[in-house]
Each structure stands twice: as structure tokens, then as C-alpha cells.
A = this chain, B = another copy of it.
Amino acid sequence: MLVNGEQRDTIAIMDRGFQYGDGLFETIEVRENTPIFLEQHLQRLNRDSQRLYLPKFDLNVSRAEISQLCENAGDAVLKIIITRGTGGRGYRQPENIKPTRMLSLHPFPDYPQSYYTDGIVARICNTRLGLNPTLAGMKHLNRLEQILARAEWQDNLIHEGIMLDFNGRVIEGTMTNLFYAKNSELFTSSLNLCGIAGILRGWVFEKMRVMEHNFFVENLFEADEIFVCNSIMGICGVQQIEQQHFSIGDITKKLQFMLEIEKQKQVAL
């Protein structure tokens, strides 16, 4: 783990990341020493930093540290955390913000192949997402909603929980974005009130026409196919939500194929 370029496994108690969740994070797939979609992750960090009034950080420093860390990483997960650093009085931020930049490598999770061929099983969470346009879309460090939702089930045969917001709209999984197709049209929830705008979600938008809209569990249950995605799991079809079964559809398979090609291209570069 690197904290502002130094090898450490601790952080100051007074760091505002610890005190208030005052920061952002990224979770990046590393395949054969190559961080996948790195530029997209760094651009999101930069964009969300602006929304949190964090100083612009030096992308070149981050890139240098990341390539150092990933040199012999093989297949791994790279996590980046940026916080507002220490200082300030209470919620008031310090006049000179010196952000904390934390990079860490973790083993790549061993998702079974069946996630991709047969699809995953999901449930509907009771924990709902709060409505907050100010924070919506960002991958910030305030993640109690996801933790409470993920704490709802222990059954390892259930792989993901789907979260609604307090208006009853379907938003996303606890750790994934969610898409569904109906009559060959692809839909996902708009993230203007809550949710995280994932990097892979953005990639899907580049590859296909997607309709962002408000929808409910009933709409989901009438879908022709459903998939979830994030930067680590990639794209997984959903075979079951509660008692309802779904087929892994052509759009899901096509996107999985395209994503694999894209990753191989990035690794080969």
C-alpha cells in the first residue's frame, strides 16, 4: 500500500477520510499488470474531486505510482482512495488542502465461471437508497447504505442485492450498476437522485444506445434480459431475482464479448 508515495498500512486518525468519509475511491481491475480503463477511472476521480471541492491532483504522479505498483501485480484489484487529508476544524475544511492519496493492491476475487455463463442470482434489498442529488453519481467514501443493504443476507447462493430508492425506483446493485432489455431496447436507471455512475456503466453507454429512465420492480420482472456490471466482476447476466427467472440474453452476451476484446486490447498495448 502506498500513502502519498510512501509504503504504509496505516493512515492518520485525524485524516478526514476516517473522521467524516471525506473523500472518493476507485476500484480497478488489473489484468496481467495492466490497470483496465485506467484513464476513465482517473478522469472520474478528477471530475468528482471538483464536485467535492478537492484540489485537482497531478494525474502524472498517480500514473507513475500506479504503474510502479502494478509492475508485478499480475491479476489483481487496485484500489485508490483520495481524501481531503488532515486538518480543518470540525466539518470546515482546511485552508490549504493536502489530500491523502492511497493506493493498494488486493487479490483478484475468484468469481466462478458460472457467473458469466449462467448468470448470477439477485434479491431485492429492503435497505433503500437516500435521495440526494448533491452526492448522486459519485463514488465517494460515504457508503453506509451499501453496507446496510449487503448485511441483509448471508446466503452465498445469492450474489447481489438490488437497491431501490425511497421513491421505489430501481437504481442499482449494492456493488454493480444494472441494465435491462425489453423488446431489444436497453434501459438503466437515471442517477440524478442517487446511485454510483460506474466506469463500466459509462462504457456500455459508449457501445450501445441506452435509455436512462425511472423504472420499478414490476418493469424489471417483465424484462427480456437483465445484467449487472462493475469494474471487477465485468458484465454478468442475471438468471434470477427473488422467485423470477430470466434468460441470459443476446445483448448481455454481445457486451461480454466486446468487453473481453476491449480488455485484451488494453493488455496488449
In the bound complex, what is the Cα–Cα distance between A131 and B18 (angstroms)? Answer: 23
Identify A144's interface contact among B142, B147, B151, CB under 8 A: B142
Chain B contacts for A203, CB-based, 8 A? none
The digit string for A83-116, where 1 denotes a CB below 8 A from any CB of B, is: 0100001111100000000101000010000000
The digit string for A162-205, where 1 denotes a CB below 8 A from any CB of B, is: 00001000000011000000000000000000100000000000
Chain B contacts for A60, CB-based, 8 A? none
A133 interfacial by beta-carbon distance below 8 Å: yes
Chain B contacts for A145, CB-based, 8 A? 132, 134-135
A143 interfacial by beta-carbon distance below 8 Å: yes
In the bound complex, what is the Cα–Cα distance between A22 and B146 (angstroms)? Answer: 10
Chain B contacts for A25, CB-based, 8 A? 19
Identify A166's interface contact among B109, B127, B131, CB under 8 A: B131
The reply to whether B21 and A11 contact each other, CB–CB distance below 8 Å, is: no
Identify A20's interface contact among B21, B22, B127, CB under 8 A: B21
Known: A91-B175, A141-B19, A142-B21. A148 touches B53 (CB 8 A): yes
The digit string for A244-260, where 1 denotes a CB below 8 A from any CB of B, is: 00000000000000000
In the bound complex, what is the Cα–Cα distance between A53 and B127 (angstroms)? Answer: 13
In the bound complex, what is the Cα–Cα distance between A32 and B36 (angstroms)? Answer: 56
In the bound complex, what is the Cα–Cα distance between A134 and B144 (angstroms)? Answer: 10
The reply to whether B147 and A93 contact each other, CB–CB distance below 8 Å, is: yes
In the bound complex, what is the Cα–Cα distance between A71 and B140 (angstroms)? Answer: 38
Kindly report how many copies of this chain are found in the complex they form together.
Answer: 2
The reply to whether B150 and A90 contact each other, CB–CB distance below 8 Å, is: yes
Apart from A16-B147, A52-B144, A91-B146, what are 15 other A-B pairs with CB-CB below 8 Å? A9-B12, A9-B13, A10-B11, A10-B12, A15-B18, A19-B143, A20-B141, A21-B21, A89-B109, A90-B150, A93-B147, A130-B130, A130-B134, A132-B166, A141-B142
The 27 sampled A-B contact pairs (Cβ below 8 Å) are A1-B13, A3-B13, A8-B13, A9-B12, A9-B13, A10-B11, A10-B12, A11-B18, A16-B147, A19-B81, A19-B141, A19-B143, A20-B21, A20-B146, A21-B142, A53-B151, A89-B109, A91-B143, A91-B147, A91-B149, A92-B150, A130-B131, A130-B134, A130-B135, A132-B132, A133-B166, A134-B148
Binding site for B on A (CB under 8 A): 1, 3, 8-22, 25, 52-53, 81, 84, 89-93, 102, 104, 109, 127-135, 140-151, 166, 174-175, 194
